[in-house]
Amino acid sequence: MLNKKSDLPRGSKKLIRAWTFYDWANSVYSLVISSAIFPIYYSTHVFSDINSILIFNIDINKDTLISLLSGLCFLIIAFLSPMLSGIADYIGNKKIFMKFFVYMGSFSCMSLYWFELENIEISLLLYFFSLLGFWGSLVYYNSYLNDITFPKQANSVSAKGYTMGYIGSVILLLINLIMIYFFEDLGFDSDKSAMKLSFALTGLWWLGFSQYSFYYLPKGNNQINFPKNIIWNGFKELKGVYKIIRSSKRFTRFLLAFFIFSFSLQTVLYIASYFGVNEIQWSSPSEQTSGLIISILLIQIVAIGGAYSFTKLAQRFGNILILTIAIFLWGAVCVYAYFIYSPDQFYLIAGLVGLLMGGTQTVARATFSLFIPQTSDTTSFFSFYDVTEKIGIFFGLLFYAFAAQITGTVRFSVIIFMFFFFLGAILLTRVPKIDRNKLA
């Protein structure tokens, strides 16, 4: 059996397939839990009769509560991942850290089956750990991109990974939707019970399919040794990487632009379902539920085309130029979203978001990987990418939480992020272009 790093050379199809399969495994979480079924369950079942709850003697809006909790999670990841990434590079075994976050996140996700208002504190804690596991695993997953590909493969492999995620998550979502819409025929007492089971299935899917990736991805050291002063040496690894990043205009300018547009993108994706629930004029609750699901499916399906089309454009015209255009278009979409009220307009926005989401995420990850010099410290490099993203999301959710708490509406938030998208596009124009010969 092939289970050694030396058995699968860099650039091999089997190794690349194993890497992309983790996107297939984990993307169900971002779709079912972050975007589709859980937000609906949270708003219509957990908080069906109330809009706020008393936490520590503070009356908190339900949307503000979940936003602040998510923001806290991203902040913790931002502080943890650099230290853990430095340690992973120092001992030469990133897979053990990736497994830790996957197991923690997937089991916590399964436990969301018991998410109820009556035990809201424990429920929120389970949600917190599932989110921590999902995002915590991605820094190690992303860092494998340099280990398994040559520079000319980075764009296409990044696109393949996201595409696998979009397809896999749609398949599981459709299975969950069948359970929810035909709950009586399938023996459930309510659609609520079917929704709860979908959370357990999501965690099981994530855990099960990730095993294929774990089997083939390079582990590094055959034995897991934790030498003395491991934390100190981990920081030394990180410090060396930081010096390289700080001395490079390409790194520093890209990460600044990435900080701005990434938190805008991730927050807009996060609040999309809440925007659909609160700001779109649906004719009935059933139309609202089906409309949100249709729009989310539309986003995922169109994202496949977005990933491949933007990858082709990046190969031809350059990553930085295509990424800049994509971020500018995100700002334009926010302008349009502020003025929409009808379901048809919401579907159009969903299609545009899907197209840009697929293109932006794919090209951004590949672009950063192309900046990294030939080194074994890929996890430490990607930890800076990860930290930039997570701190950005924290601020994005903070902006959204304050806007929701003060104005009581999600609509105002999209105008805030419009300005940030335009700023991110402007900052990207200052990033030195990538030599296209590397991508030939």
Give the model confidence (pLDDT) of 370-399 as tens digits: 888 776 566 777 777 877 887 877 788 777
Average pLDDT value for residue range 260-274: 82
pLDDT at 305: 92
What is the rounded distance in angstroms from the CA atom of residue 328 to the CA atom of residue 324? 6
pLDDT of 439 > 50? The answer is no
Average pLDDT value for residue range 59-78: 80
Range of 96's domain? 10-47+60-219+230-439
Q: At what angle do helices 62-91 and 378-407 cross, to 10 degrees?
A: 170
Of 3-7, 148-152, 390-394, 422-426, which range is least confident? Answer: 3-7
For the chain, what is the mean pLDDT?
83
Residue 56's pLDDT band (boundaries 50, 70, 90)?
low
Of 429, 426, 404, nearest in space to 414 by CA: 404
Higher pLDDT, 195 or 438: 195
What is the rounded distance in angstroms from the CA atom of residue 264 to the CA atom of residue 259? 9
Q: Is residue 54 part of a domain?
A: no
pLDDT of 9 > 50? The answer is yes
pLDDT of 71 > 60? The answer is yes
- The total of other beta-carbon atoms located within 10 Å of residue 181's CB is 16
pLDDT at 7: 65
Contact between 24 and 168 (Cβ < 8 Å): yes
Q: Is residue 2 part of a domain?
A: no
The domain spanning residue 242 has which CATH number? 1.20.1250.20
What is the rounded distance in angstroms from the CA atom of residue 238 to the CA atom of residue 90? 9
Tally of domains within the chain:
1
- The total of other beta-carbon atoms located within 10 Å of residue 102's CB is 25
Q: Is residue 142 part of a domain?
A: yes
pLDDT of 50 > 50? The answer is yes
Tracing tokens 């992309």 back to the chain, one arrives at 20
Q: Is residue 179 part of a domain?
A: yes
Percent of the chain whose pLDDT exceeds 90:
35
Give the count of alpha carbons within 13 A of 12, CB side only: 13
Q: Is residue 53 part of a domain?
A: no
Residue 1's pLDDT band (boundaries 50, 70, 90)?
very low
pLDDT of 59 > 80? The answer is no
Q: Is residue 1 part of a domain?
A: no
Structure token digits, residue 362: 């794919």
Residues across the chain: 440
What is the rounded distance in angstroms from the CA atom of residue 67 to the CA atom of residue 374? 38
What is the rounded distance in angstroms from the CA atom of residue 62 to the CA atom of residue 18? 39
Locate the DSSP E strands across 80-149.
none
pLDDT at 230: 55
Structure token digits, residue 248: 């490079």
Contact between 214 and 66 (Cβ < 8 Å): no
